[in-house]
Amino acid sequence: MRSVWMTMLLGVVACGSGSTVGGADAKPLPGDAPGGDGVVTAFRRCVGRPFTPIAAAGFATSGGGFTAALGGPVHAAEDVVVPSAPHAVARFAYGALTSALTSEPVAVFIDDCSGWRSLGEVTTDADGGVDVPVGQELAPGVYEATFEVLGDASIVTGYVWSLPAGTHLVISDIDGTLTTSDTELFLQLLNGSYVPTAYPMAPELTTTHADRGHVVVYITGRPYYLTQRTRDWLAGKAFAAGPLHLAPSTGAALPTNGGVGDFKKAWLEELVAKGYILDLAYGNATTDIYAYTGAGIAADHQWIIGTNGGMDGTNAVVDTWAARVTDVAQAPAVAQPFAW
């Protein structure tokens, strides 16, 4: 599969050309599909299409203008993972204190592989958020959603992952798991230009899983306003494309079982409730083990790097993901309910 973020961004060429893998008129492929219909739908990658913003109209409220004057936009679009009833979610804020943009109109668009389709205009809520239904079911695939603040034409991008029940997922933490330590996050918070260091073979770990058919899901206790920086880091280091989920609040980011542990566990339990199969997980902290185990991932299907490796029956990893990459590369391919 096309497993790397940068390759994913080039997928719009296929979308525009009607390719059978990801194109606007992708056709079902022969195979064994759940339900006995004898076809497997091609996975669509409707991403990377150029977007032309609407001209700025000025803020609708005096409060909106005041908020925007506090500093640059710190918008964040959430990646949504759903088997049906897709929707697009984002939050809008400005300045160093991430002050919420409230009661302001936002235009929302989704690339459905035929071009940008408008989902209409919505007004931000008291937290600066919007949650917009797509209005139609989407074939298995990843669809880019763009949100534009009409006041100043600032935009943010997120992704809707339409994954049918039965999709096999691999779960990975980021800081201290893919990066060399949890302190990499704090360095990035202090210095926006700082590029966190990845563990040796961390990108290859994710791309090898993707090559074997897994969808890699990234879940992290980073605060939500670091969404775009995190996307940029994953892309720059050539990690596998996959849904990204950050902590929605300060409480959810606290490094305790009752903080980040419960945040991660609850979201993973939601994935299980939607019918997804969590095959295995990667982490480094005791809160990762707590969340993964609580969501039903067996200890021997958890790989923990660093000082907590091997705790509670997990698999211990030291200093590099190289040996694990070799093991994954030799594992059988995963059968997904779509042509990956």
Structural contact between residues 89 and 130, judged by C-beta atoms closer than 8 angstroms: yes
Which pLDDT does position 142 carry in this prediction? 98
* Calpha distance 27→41 (Å, rounded): 7
Which pLDDT does position 245 carry in this prediction? 98
* Calpha distance 61→63 (Å, rounded): 5
Structural contact between residues 260 and 254, judged by C-beta atoms closer than 8 angstroms: yes
Q: Give the fold, CATH level 3, of 5-162.
A: Immunoglobulin-like (2.60.40)
Q: How many CB atoms lie within 10 A of CB 327?
A: 11
Which CATH number applies to 168-330? 3.40.50.1000
Which pLDDT does position 19 carry in this prediction? 30
SS3 180: coil
Both tokens of residue 296?
């039903």
Per-residue pLDDT for the chain (340 aa), expressed as one digit of tens each?
Answer: 434 443 444 343 334 333 322 333 333 332 333 444 556 789 999 999 999 999 999 999 999 999 999 999 999 999 999 999 999 999 999 999 999 999 999 999 999 999 999 999 999 999 999 999 999 999 999 999 999 999 999 999 999 999 999 999 999 999 999 999 877 766 766 676 778 899 999 999 999 999 999 999 999 999 999 999 899 999 999 999 999 999 999 899 899 999 999 999 999 999 999 999 999 999 999 999 999 999 999 999 999 999 999 999 999 999 999 999 999 999 999 999 999 8
- Helices and strands in the chain: count of H runs, count of E runs: 10, 19
Both tokens of residue 291?
């969340």
* Calpha distance 81→65 (Å, rounded): 33
In terms of C-beta density within 10 A (0-12 exposed, 13-18 middle, 19 or more buried), how is residue 32 classed? exposed
**First-to-last CA distance in the chain?**
6
Where exactly are the structural domains of the chain? 5-162, 168-330
> Which of 276, 175, 271 is CA-nearest to residue 220?
175
